[in-house]
């Protein structure tokens, strides 16, 4: 199957069912290096906030946020060709990375993501056009035993959460190999599974949306604060939010329009 045909098929599944699996093309060696990078970033962020106990009080343990501002490999994860092509197919030519979070699912800890939720949090309405997608890159194989994600297909088309009977009848756990993205319409109800295996399961989640929505973290400012190099590619800069930040003044707004 041609690359564009493959993207079209994934996009169709995503629009209708609300979820699909997309192959990233990333190598196993690179994925293994990302696991170490994720663990290191999480420990660094815990230290920055006063330790893991501080994260626990915030209900934010085992999450590393805006990782591309800490480790260069995560920019590659956020900009793979298959993901960019899919985002353009589903969202159109203009879209922005709203958030990138690393997720560490440990077998010995409570997983607060095990509750049903949408990734556009607190939004209980639907749209005829996809507003945002989330792309969860599996760094490890997602299996039944280690808590692979559950989805409720089609719930991005309805505003209210379905009944318990509907959930028990139609919830589906998505098994996916390492190196694939589990891509969801951001309004699809989903939840993390419980990790009953003896090993940690890691993933990197991206929420990519239309530019009128705000980023979780101001990525350009985050890159500057951690002294990471700014990307020079114009399309990547736009994707990371450099183009879409509010103008500082009327002069700045007009100068941007002239570019």
Mean pLDDT lowest among 93-107, 154-168, 192-206, 214-228:
214-228
Q: What is the pLDDT of residues 36-77, one digit of tens each?
A: 999 999 999 999 999 999 999 988 999 999 999 999 999 999
Is the domain covering 3-257 a CATH 3.40.630.30 domain?
A: no
Q: List beta partners, residue 172.
A: 151
Distance CA 170, CA 3 (A): 31
Mean pLDDT of 112-135: 86
pLDDT at 108: 73
DSSP the chain: --HHHHHHHHHHHHHHHSEEEEE----HHHHHHHHHHHHHHHHHHHHHHT-HHHHHHTT-TTEEESGGGT-THHHHHHT-HHHHHHHHHHH-S--EEEEEEEEEE-TTS--GGGS-B-SSTT-----SS--EEEEEEESS-B-TTTTPPEE-TTGGG-SS---HHHHHHH-EE--B-TTEEEEEETTS-EEPPP--SSS-EEEEEEEEE-TTSPPSS-HHHHHHHTTPPPP--HHHHHHHTTTTSPPSSHHHHHHHHT-
pLDDT at 128: 84
pLDDT at 226: 86
> Does residue 96 contact residue 244 with C-beta atoms inside 8 Å?
yes
Ranges of each domain in the chain: 3-257
pLDDT at 120: 85
| Statement: residue 216 has pLDDT above 80 | yes
pLDDT at 30: 97
pLDDT at 258: 66
pLDDT at 1: 62
pLDDT at 259: 61
Q: What is the pLDDT of residues 80-90, one digit of tens each?
A: 999 999 999 99
Assessment of whether the complete model's pTM goes beyond 0.85? yes
| Statement: residue 240 has pLDDT above 70 | yes
The count of other CB atoms within 10 Å of the CB of residue 7 is 22
Instruction: Give the CA distances from residue 210 to residues 91, 95, 118, 249, in Å, rounded to whole numbers and listed in that order.
Output: 7, 5, 16, 23
More confident residue, 229 or 40: 40
Q: What is the pLDDT of residues 145-168, one digit of tens each?
A: 999 999 999 999 999 999 999 999
The token pair that represents 52 in the structure block: 């893991």
Grade residue 255 by pLDDT with cuts at 50, 70 and 90.
Answer: confident
More confident residue, 236 or 121: 236
Which has the closest alpha carbon to 98: 215, 234, 2? Answer: 215
Mean pLDDT of 109-133: 83
Sheet with strand 150-151: strands edge to edge: 172-173, 150-151, 190-191
Distance CA 2, CA 136 (A): 23
């Amino acid at each position: 199957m041609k690359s564009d045909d493959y993207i079209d098929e994934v996009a169709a599944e995503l629009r209708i069912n609300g979820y699909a699996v997309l192959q990233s093309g990333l190598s196993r060696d690179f994925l293994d290096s990302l696991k170490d990078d994720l663990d290191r970033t999480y420990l660094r962020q815990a230290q920055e906030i006063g330790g893991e106990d501080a994260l626990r009080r915030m209900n934010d343990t085992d999450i590393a946020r805006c990782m591309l501002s800490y480790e260069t490999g995560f920019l590659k994860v956020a900009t793979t060709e298959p993901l960019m092509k899919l985002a353009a197919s589903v969202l159109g030519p203009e879209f922005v990375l709203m958030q990138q979070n690393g997720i560490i699912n440990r077998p010995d800890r409570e997983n607060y993501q095990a509750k049903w939720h949408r990734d556009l949090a607190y939004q209980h309405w639907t749209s005829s056009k996809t507003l945002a997608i989330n792309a969860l890159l599996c760094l490890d194989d997602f299996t039944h035993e280690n808590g692979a994600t559950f989805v409720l297909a089609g719930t991005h088309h309805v505003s209210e959460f379905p009944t318990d009977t509907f959930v028990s009848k139609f919830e589906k756990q998505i098994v996916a190999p390492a190196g694939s993205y589990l891509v969801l319409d951001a309004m699809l109800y989903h939840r993390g599974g419980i990790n009953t295996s003896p090993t940690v399961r890691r993933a990197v989640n991206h929420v990519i949306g239309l530019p009128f929505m705000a980023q979780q973290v101001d990525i350009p400012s985050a890159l500057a604060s951690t002294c990471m190099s700014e990307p020079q590619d114009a399309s990547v800069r736009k994707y990371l939010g450099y183009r879409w930040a509010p103008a500082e003044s009327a002069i700045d707004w007009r100068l941007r329009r002239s570019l």
